[in-house]
């Protein structure tokens, strides 16, 4: 089989099977979109070599074409992204991808919780679960938590909240402080506890 090159952008954590300088990503509507970037950020690797190196990141791996187009895997009702970005995370992220939630650090604080937020695609998952818009749902949960001091919901719902909060603060380009940081630490800790509790009942 001839060598097939994969163009990788380590900064955007994206890749393109065509080995062009044009990268593709999946937007919130699950549609492929084109994204350009400076050529200096790209480098090329053999797709089979890359696949072998990153196979451990997947649960029940789909075909590599599906992976490279941003498809997702199912595990216990969650949508786990099979994205290149996971290879740069801590070891416990790989354990989570295998369903071992007890390996999540305890206590799980906001700084490390951001890694957990990368694993799911909350924009796709929320409507599939009947929660409609991811942002609207997460904002409602955040408002309730600000009043009660408690984040409540299923593991999947809490994970969606973490997914959205991580993207909210990335958009702000700053780190949460004070009461906001305390609330987000609480979200991370509650998610860890709920993931372990729900998985142990199955």
Q: Dump pLDDT digits (tens) for 118-144.
A: 888 788 778 877 888 999 999 999 999
Q: What residues contact residue 103 under an 8 Å CB cut-off, 6+ apart?
A: 91, 92, 95, 96
Q: How far is CA 145 from the centre of its chain?
A: 23
Q: What is the DSSP string of 77-138?
A: TEEEE--GGGGGS-HHHHHHHTT-GGGS-SS--HHHHHHHHTSB-HHHHHHHTT---HHHHH
Q: What's the pLDDT tens digit per position in 149-166?
A: 999 998 889 999 999 999
What pLDDT is attached to residue 46? 64
Which H/E stretch holds residue 50?
helix 47-54
What pLDDT is attached to residue 124? 75
Nearest to 1 by CA among 42, 40, 48: 48
Q: What residues does each domain of the chain span? A: 5-55, 71-200
Spans in the chain with pLDDT lower than 70: 1-88, 202
What pLDDT is attached to residue 172? 74
């Amino acid at each position: 089989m001839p060598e097939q090159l994969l163009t990788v952008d380590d900064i955007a954590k994206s890749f393109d099977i065509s080995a062009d300088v044009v990268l593709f990503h999946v937007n919130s509507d699950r549609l492929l979109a084109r994204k350009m970037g400076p050529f200096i950020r790209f480098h090329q690797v053999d797709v089979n070599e890359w696949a072998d190196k990153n196979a451990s990141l997947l649960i029940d791996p789909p075909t590599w074409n599906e992976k490279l187009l941003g498809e997702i895997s199912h595990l216990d009702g969650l949508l786990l992204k099979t994205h290149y970005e996971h290879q740069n995370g801590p070891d416990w992220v790989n354990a989570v991808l295998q369903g071992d939630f007890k390996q999540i650090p305890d206590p799980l604080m906001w700084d490390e919780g951001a890694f957990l937020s990368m694993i799911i695609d909350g924009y796709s998952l929320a409507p599939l679960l009947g929660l409609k818009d991811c942002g609207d749902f997460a904002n409602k949960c955040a408002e309730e938590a600000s009043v009660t001091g408690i984040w409540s919901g299923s593991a999947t719902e809490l994970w969606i909240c973490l997914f959205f909060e991580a993207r909210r603060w990335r958009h702000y380009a700053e780190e949460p402080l004070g009461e906001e940081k305390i609330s987000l630490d609480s979200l991370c800790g509650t998610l860890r506890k709920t993931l372990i509790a729900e998985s142990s009942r199955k």
